[in-house]
């Protein structure tokens, strides 16, 4: 699961920017080899873009257009039959809503639990905290297969199988495990003077958490919130297992289960891939700055 | 990622337990445990209990209904002679190649070129635009990435790749119906999805490299390649380590692309451990055996993490000793 790769990358408030490289010899001095290198990187980028291009142009072709002009050409005229067919087939708005509902609730709950845990570990400095942090980290690294069947059986027993709540509960725990690991180290370095001042003013722990720690760490919390949302959106194995009926499925699952269906002709399949791409593309455009800062800033502390 | 901050044990034992950051007023620190309670109960119910239960299931034969029959080590013994099991872990090596080795090496090169050549001589805007391009597939759910590539290699005359090749007079190929092309398609998906991650992380790391170091090396007559290996690689080594560790773990757990593209076929030759366990659980209803495969996968993931962290710690110690 490539998307979860990000899970293990810490998100940290951005480091102060390093020295910007001085352009040596000015930007004008380009040798032949430099042009060659540029060409090489551009060819690589074109290869990366190619699948997106293919899916995009062919989603708007009629099957006849596709058959005559081939996959590389632009569509002769914009044809929405493939997209409309797939949209109606999976009831796309319903799937988008399921994904938003699940990912949104998971993100909020997981941030909340991470904050409570990290408050006890990072600020309360409870005994054995390094072991507790390690435990949470391991919970996040585990392959989900190792929990899959017992969870499946448990949720069946309590009647939550095929309910979005089963997926919400599981991912709240998995994401909060990572959040606890990360936030504990952030709270471990929380400025002591501020906490002492609040305590002198007579604030108890609960009040300090909500009136002091929460507002000050809000930037980190919002980065976590966005990451939890996107990671949960991209999850596949657990939603696939737990959301059996069509009406409960998330976007990636609904699209996947229809692959290989006899009614899916070549342009409809292309449209299904396009509809899978679009929501994440929108998130990327909205959260681009937060995302790149989160990915890069904290890879190493 | 800072699992690496573990202090040597002897030193940690001497430290007195630290005080909470909020001054104490009479009552003890026990109250903080209340804040851990919800998180801990959830962790227990959703992770720890299922994990233990799954290990117990490896010693049973169970169809998912009724009570599991205790059969001792039978499932574990079966692994030794199960060809599909060995194929699935052998394929994990290919997944690591596609998700770790290729993206890290190519990503290092692309990042260095973008930063050193493109960013400096053609302007930062082109550099960041190209970086965003390389990163684009990373945002996709990996199952959707599988569907995109799966669509391109769709078998039959109407598949996109087959149509393109058809223009050169090549007959349609059933890419997913035979080996090694089915495995190669899976690997292409992983390389495509993964390449942007090292590029972005390494480019950020390269900003830490002091340009004066380069200038000094240049004056000493070092060429680009020598500078790259001697200066760049050693400075961004922590990032290389993080990328390698996280990607290796992700490669071992890979499931989505196999599910949407090959379903382990043809004839089980593209099975990976996660998919094999899933199949045993829900298609064949051999729950005990599926649990055994999942447990082996867990053990491998944990071992890989420990080995990596030990290795990194040893390197750090050596470095500090050398200073």
pLDDT at B217: 85
A236/B211 touch (CB, cutoff 8 Å), yes or no: no
Chain-centre distance of CA A72, in angstroms? Answer: 31
Give the gyration radius of chain B's Cα atoms: 25
pLDDT at A266: 85
B46/A192 touch (CB, cutoff 8 Å), yes or no: no
B204/A297 touch (CB, cutoff 8 Å), yes or no: yes
In words, the CATH class of domain B76-318 is mainly alpha
pLDDT, average across residues B266-292: 94
User: Of A1, A22, A30, which is closest to B256 when you measure between CB atoms?
Assistant: A1
pLDDT, average across residues B127-156: 90
Identify whether the C-beta of residue B187 lies closer than 8 Å to the C-beta of residue B94: yes
pLDDT at A121: 93
Question: Mind telling me how many Å the CA of A49 is from chain B's nearest CA?
Answer: 7
A255/B23 touch (CB, cutoff 8 Å), yes or no: no
Interface test with A, best of B4, B12, B26, B47 (most A CBs within 10 A): B47
User: Of B46, B143, B167, which is closest to A173 when you measure between CB atoms?
Assistant: B46
CB of B186 within 8 Å of any CB in chain A? no
In whole numbers, what is the pLDDT of chain B averaged over residues? 87
Contacts of A116 in chain B (CB under 8 A): 35-36, 38-39
Q: How far apart are CA B137 and CA A50, in angstroms?
A: 11
Structure tokens at A105: 């609730």
Residue B16 confidence class, pLDDT cut points 50, 70, 90: low
pLDDT at B4: 40
Nearest CA to A128 among A116, A139, A120? A120
Contacts of A165 in chain B (CB under 8 A): none
* Burial of B186: CB neighbours in 10 Å, binned 0-12, 13-18, 19+: buried
pLDDT at A212: 92
pLDDT, average across residues B298-309: 91
User: Of B21, B205, B274, which is closest to A190 when you measure between CB atoms?
Assistant: B21
Write the DSSP assignment of B181-214 as a string of letters.
HHHHHHHHHHHHHHTHHHHHHHHHHHTTS-HHHH
Contacts of A45 in chain B (CB under 8 A): 130, 133-134
CB of B35 within 8 Å of any CB in chain A? yes
pLDDT at A5: 33
A299/B201 touch (CB, cutoff 8 Å), yes or no: yes
pLDDT at A285: 87
Q: How far apart are CA A119 and CA A122, in angstroms?
A: 5
Contacts of B54 in chain A (CB under 8 A): 146-147, 149-150
pLDDT, average across residues B288-300: 96
Does ipTM come in above 0.90?
no
pLDDT at B206: 87
What does DSSP say about strands B69-70 and B60-61: parallel, antiparallel, or unpaired? antiparallel
Question: Mind telling me how many Å the CA of B82 is from chain A's nearest CA?
Answer: 19
pLDDT, average across residues B264-291: 93
pLDDT at A30: 75
Nearest CA to A236 among B257, B295, B94? B257
DSSP class of residue A18? -
pLDDT at B322: 67
Q: In order of start, what are the domains of chain A with their CATH numbers?
A: 93-264+277-297 (1.10.3720.10)
With a pLDDT cut of 70, the percent of chain B lying above it is: 93
Q: How far apart are CA B265 and CA B289, in angstroms?
A: 20
CB of B219 within 8 Å of any CB in chain A? no
With a pLDDT cut of 90, the percent of chain B lying above it is: 50
DSSP class of residue A19? P
Domain ranges of chain B: 76-318
Residue B19 confidence class, pLDDT cut points 50, 70, 90: confident
DSSP class of residue A123? I
Which residue has tokens 């399949």?
A: A269
- Of all residues in chain A, what percent are helix, strand and coil, respectively (each to 5)? 75, 0, 25
Tens-level pLDDT at each residue, chain A (301 residues)? 333 333 333 333 333 444 444 444 445 577 888 888 899 999 999 999 999 999 999 999 888 888 888 888 888 888 888 899 889 988 999 999 999 999 999 999 999 999 999 999 999 888 888 889 989 988 888 999 999 999 999 999 999 999 999 999 999 999 999 999 989 988 988 888 899 999 898 888 999 999 999 999 988 898 899 999 999 999 999 999 999 998 999 999 999 988 877 777 888 889 999 999 999 999 888 887 777 666 654 444 3
User: Of A51, A137, A143, which is closest to B298 when you measure between CB atoms?
Assistant: A143
pLDDT at B235: 83
Residue B7 confidence class, pLDDT cut points 50, 70, 90: very low
Q: How far apart are CA B215 and CA B211, in angstroms?
A: 6
B167 sits in which H/E element: none
Better-predicted residue by pLDDT, B64 or A294: B64
């Amino acid at each position: 699961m490539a998307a979860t790769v990000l899970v293990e990358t810490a998100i940290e408030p951005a480091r102060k920017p390093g020295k910007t490289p001085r352009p040596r010899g000015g930007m004008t001095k380009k040798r032949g080899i430099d042009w060659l290198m540029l060409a090489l990187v551009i060819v690589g980028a074109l290869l990366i873009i190619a699948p997106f291009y293919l899916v995009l142009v062919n989603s708007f072709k009629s099957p006849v257009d596709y058959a005559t002009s081939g996959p590389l050409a632009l569509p002769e005229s914009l044809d929405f039959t493939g997209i409309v067919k797939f949209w109606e087939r999976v009831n796309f708005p319903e799937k988008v809503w399921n994904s938003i509902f699940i990912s949104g609730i998971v993100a909020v709950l997981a941030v909340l639990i991470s904050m409570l845990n990290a408050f006890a570990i990072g600020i309360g400095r409870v005994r054995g905290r390094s072991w507790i942090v390690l435990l949470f980290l391991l919970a996040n690294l585990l392959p989900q297969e190792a929990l899959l069947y017992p969870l499946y059986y448990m949720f069946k027993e309590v009647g939550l199988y095929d309910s979005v709540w089963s997926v919400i509960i599981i991912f709240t725990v998995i994401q909060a495990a990572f959040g606890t690991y990360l936030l504990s180290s952030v709270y471990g370095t929380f400025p002591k003077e501020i906490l002492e001042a609040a305590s002198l003013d007579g604030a108890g722990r609960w009040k300090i958490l909500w009136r002091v720690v929460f507002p000050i760490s809000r930037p980190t919390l919002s980065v976590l919130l966005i990451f939890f949302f996107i990671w949960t959106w991209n999850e596949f194995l657990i939603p696939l297992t737990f959301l059996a009926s069509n009406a409960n499925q998330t976007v990636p699952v609904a699209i996947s289960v229809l692959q290989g269906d006899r009614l899916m002709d070549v342009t409809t399949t292309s449209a299904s891939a396009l509809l899978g791409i679009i929501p994440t593309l929108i998130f990327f455009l909205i959260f681009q700055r937060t995302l790149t800062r989160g990915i890069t800033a904290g890879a190493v502390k | 990622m800072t699992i690496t901050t573990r202090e040597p044990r002897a030193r940690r034992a001497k430290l007195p337990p630290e005080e909470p950051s909020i001054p104490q007023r009479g009552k003890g620190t026990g109250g903080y445990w209340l804040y851990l309670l919800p998180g801990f109960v959830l962790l227990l119910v959703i992770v720890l209990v299922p994990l233990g239960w799954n290990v117990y299931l490896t010693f049973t034969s169970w169809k998912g209904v009724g009570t599991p029959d205790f059969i001792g080590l039978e499932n574990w013994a079966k692994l030794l002679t199960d060809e599909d099991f060995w194929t699935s872990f052998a394929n994990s090596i290919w997944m690591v190649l596609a998700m770790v080795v290729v993206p890290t090496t190519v990503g290092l090169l692309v990042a260095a070129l973008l930063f050193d050549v493109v960013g400096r001589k053609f302007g930062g805007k082109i550099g960041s635009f190209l970086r965003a391009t390389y990163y684009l597939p990373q945002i996709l759910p990996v199952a959707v990435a599988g569907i995109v590539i799966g669509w391109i290699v769709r078998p039959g005359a109407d598949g996109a790749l087959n149509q393109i090749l058809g223009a050169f007079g090549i007959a349609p190929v059933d890419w997913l119906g035979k080996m090694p092309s089915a495995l190669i398609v899976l690997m292409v998906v992983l390389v495509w999805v993964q390449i942007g991650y090292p590029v972005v992380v390494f480019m950020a790391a390269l900003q830490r490299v002091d340009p004066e170091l380069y200038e000094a090396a240049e004056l000493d007559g070092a060429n680009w390649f020598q500078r790259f290996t001697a200066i760049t690689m050693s400075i961004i080594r922590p990032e290389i380590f993080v990328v390698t560790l996280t990607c290796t773990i992700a490669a071992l757990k890979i499931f989505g692309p196999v599910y949407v593209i090959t379903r382990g076929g043809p004839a089980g030759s593209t099975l990976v451990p996660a998919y094999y366990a899933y199949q045993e659980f829900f298609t064949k209803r051999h729950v005990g055996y599926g649990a055994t495969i999942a447990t082996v996968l867990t053990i491998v993931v944990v071992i890989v993490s420990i080995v990596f962290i030990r290795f990194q710690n040893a390197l750090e110690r050596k470095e500090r000793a050398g200073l």
